[in-house]
């Protein structure tokens, strides 16, 4: 989230499309494996002749169940509690088995007669096959040897488990303790992958990992009772007896002390003594083995287009010029007499634009979100049922995190979505960015789109819980622009903040391609963003390092937004007075996340039907 880190803002979507990831896992190698093997029978051997549609759906159902078993942590996030005593197996052997399985699955799907499927099933078929093909192609690039970066990895992710695991029964607590005991094995597997990365030349740039040791140390260099992992043992269900509570506290304390903390220390020692000294000094993806081919693959995968890095770079430069002219109009409107740079410097330096208290910052985000909620019915025919909230990013994660990200919820798990806001260094979190950021992360941005997709019960689950970065992030950037129609950005500084966010995404097209394909330095990238946006230097540095860690990901935002805007303009022009913004948005969101070419087909079909 895409943790599909999708993982500026990052979207953590617990995506069904993890089934296509090279780092996914296999059942027979699960770290903790004491439940019956539900996937031992051949799910593809029919006992009676099946139609093409029946066969396709049988495969989808079997694969969904198989991936839940293989990815127990993800299953827990989705609200499926059957595998809550297990951790994902991230061993090299599991990864290779997974890749082999996906290649066989692709062959099996190609045997299905696509023409015999219904029109909705044809779309699902195309999406499934395309994802498999791109993933199978991507296996040649050994990114699974880089399981940790400053934005994510076991040093951050494991401590978040109490946020989504259930703690209602004694079994829930026993399952959680089993996961704590399995943690050292997963650390060993993670270290083994990084050792293989050193041997094969697949390592991250040293510069972006400078905060990782502190991230690890923050997990073990504290009293056990202050660990995020101990939090479930501070509050128990009322039904628990005193002795049961005491026994769990003793078990948890012992397990964290004897298993978890030593595993973190082993990881810290490996990172400091072995991994960091072996990491590369270069920053470009093209410096990796087969680097240009790898970066081209990432660009195509993230943008779902055939645009080259050079074409995207040029498009970015054009967008930077266009948006800068709009920013100059705002500067003129507020009566500022200095240069563009002087205006940016004045925004960064003016204490009136910053909160002194983190609760005030969070409360203002909540006020903005509440205002946005009231505007949604005029823009959307379908709205999600799942609620959302605003929370701060944890301290151990905040220094290397962006301004905010979205953490998806689950109706099945009874967990709302969350707009996660960074309260670290409050003097780098300006008020004039808050409206645009709230619309992006919450509604009508990430929460609305992702929660609504999960509730499209007519779609296969891999589509309801899946994502394409160009669609997901393109929609969220488009949602920022919708703020103009929702009554936001009345204050000229807030309008400048919205333009700053749009400029920031345009700059990404330039600096991502610049660093990874055109020989730019990290300093050049930082300077370009600082000279064109009102974002603070700390924010910019964190962002540039993120683009270095995730080549191509940052391109998806602006490319996706431009396509949605293009499709809306086409629909408005061709439909005239028949254009209905609510119906247009429902069409865009009504099939879940899609590659941009498939989204275009859906919108063109909608236009044609309205015109008939």
Return d(Cα 210, Cα 23) in angstroms, integer. Answer: 24
Mean per-residue pLDDT of the chain: 92
Label residues 77-98 b or e (16+ Cβ within 10 Å = b).
Answer: bbebbebbbbbbbbbeebbebb
Separation of alpha carbons 356 and 360, rounded Å: 8
**Tokens 């962002």 sit on residue:** 543
The per-residue pLDDT for 360 is 97
Residue of 385, 382, 441 whose CA lies nearest to 408: 441
Identify the DSSP state of 170: H
Tell whether the model's pLDDT for residue 23 goes beyond 50: no
Cα(148)–Cα(268) distance, integer angstroms: 12
DSSP conformation letters of 288-304: STTHHHHHHHHHHHHH-
CA distance 356 to 535: 18
In three-state secondary structure terms, 56 is helix
Q: How far apart are CA 385 and CA 276, in angstroms?
A: 46
Report the 3 state secondary structure along 342-382: HHHHHHHHCHHHCCCCHHHHHHHHHHHHHHHHHHHHHCCCC
Contact 465, 9 (CB under 8 A): no
Q: What is the pLDDT of residues 330-362, one digit of tens each?
A: 999 999 999 999 999 999 999 999 999 999 999
Asked if the peptide bond before residue 197 counts as cis, ω within 30 degrees of 0, the response is no
Give the tens place of pLDDT for each residue, 148-192: 999 999 999 999 999 999 999 999 999 999 999 999 999 999 999
Question: From CA 536, how far away is CA 468, in angstroms rounded?
Answer: 29
Indicate the pTM of the whole model.
0.90
Q: Which of 91, 72, 80, 75 is nearest to 34 (CA)?
A: 72
Q: Is the pLDDT of residue 27 over 70?
A: no
User: What is the distance in angstroms between the CA of the first residue and the CA of the last residue of the chain?
Assistant: 40
Res. 19: pLDDT tops 50: no
Three-state DSSP class for residue 10: strand
Neighbours of 64 (CB within 10 A): 15
Least confident of 1-10, 247-256, 275-284, 298-307: 1-10
Helix (H) or strand (E) holding 407: strand 404-407
């Amino acid at each position: 989230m895409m943790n599909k880190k999708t993982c500026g803002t990052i979207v953590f979507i617990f995506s069904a499309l993890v089934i296509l990831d090279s780092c996914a896992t296999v059942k027979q190698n699960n770290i903790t494996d004491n439940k019956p093997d539900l996937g031992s029978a051949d799910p593809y051997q029919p006992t009676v002749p099946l139609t093409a549609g029946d066969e396709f759906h049988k495969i989808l159902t079997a694969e969904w169940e198989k991936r839940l078993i293989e990815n127990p942590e993800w299953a827990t996030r989705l609200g499926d509690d059957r595998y809550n005593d297990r951790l994902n197996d991230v061993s090299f052997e599991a990864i290779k088995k997974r890749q082999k399985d996906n290649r066989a699955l692709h062959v099996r799907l190609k045997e299905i007669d696509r023409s015999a499927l219904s029109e909705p099933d044809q779309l699902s078929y195309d999406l499934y096959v395309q994802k498999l093909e791109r993933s199978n192609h991507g296996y040649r690039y050994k990114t699974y040897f880089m399981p940790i970066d400053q934005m994510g990895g076991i040093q951050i992710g494991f401590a978040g488990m109490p946020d989504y695991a259930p703690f209602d029964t004694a079994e829930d607590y026993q399952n959680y303790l089993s996961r704590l005991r399995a943690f050292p094995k997963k650390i060993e597997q993670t270290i083994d992958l990084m050792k293989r990365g050193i041997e094969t030349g697949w390592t991250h740039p040293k510069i972006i990992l400078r905060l990782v040791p502190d991230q690890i140390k923050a997990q073990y260099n504290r009293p056990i009772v202050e660990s995020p992992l101990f939090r479930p043992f501070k509050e128990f269900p009322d039904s628990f007896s005193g002795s049961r509570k005491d026994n769990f506290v003793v078990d948890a304390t012992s397990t964290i002390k004897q298993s978890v903390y030593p595993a973190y220390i082993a990881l810290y020692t490996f990172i400091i003594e072995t991994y960091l000294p072996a990491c590369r000094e270069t920053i470009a993806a093209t410096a990796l083995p087969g680097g240009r081919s790898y970066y081209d693959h990432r660009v195509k995968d993230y943008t779902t287009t055939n645009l080259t890095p050079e074409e995207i770079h040029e498009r970015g430069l054009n967008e930077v010029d266009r948006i800068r002219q709009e920013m100059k109009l705002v500067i003129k409107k507020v009566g500022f007499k200095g240069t563009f740079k002087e205006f940016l410097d004045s925004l960064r330096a003016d204490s009136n634009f910053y909160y002194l208290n983190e609760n005030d910052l969070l409360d203002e985000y909540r006020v903005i979100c509440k205002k946005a909620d009231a505007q949604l019915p005029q823009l959307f025919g379908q709205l999600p049922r799942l609620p959302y909230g605003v929370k701060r990013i944890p301290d151990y994660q905040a220094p290397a995190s962006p301004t905010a990200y979205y953490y998806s919820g689950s109706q099945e798990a009874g967990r709302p979505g969350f707009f996660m806001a960074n309260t670290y260094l409050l003097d780098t979190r300006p008020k004039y960015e808050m409206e645009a950021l709230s619309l992006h992360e919450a509604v009508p941005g990430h929460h609305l789109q992702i929660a609504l997709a999960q509730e499209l019960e007519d779609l296969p689950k891999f589509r309801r819980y899946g994502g394409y970065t160009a669609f997901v992030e393109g929609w969220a950037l488009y949602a920022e622009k919708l703020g103009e129609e929702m009554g936001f950005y009345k204050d000229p500084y807030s309008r400048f903040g919205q333009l700053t966010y749009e400029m920031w995404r345009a700059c990404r097209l330039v600096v991502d391609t610049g660093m990874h394909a055109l020989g730019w330095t990290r300093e050049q990238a930082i300077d370009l963003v600082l000279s064109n946006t009102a974002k603070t230097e700390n924010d910019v540095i964190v962002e540039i390092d993120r683009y270095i860690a995730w080549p191509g990901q940052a391109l998806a935002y602006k490319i996706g937004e431009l396509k949605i805007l293009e499709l809306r303009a086409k629909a408005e022009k061709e439909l005239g007075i028949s254009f209905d913004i609510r119906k247009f948005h429902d069409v865009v969101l009504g099939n879940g996340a899609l590659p941009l070419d498939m989204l275009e087909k859906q919108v063109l079909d909608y236009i044609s039907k309205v015109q008939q």
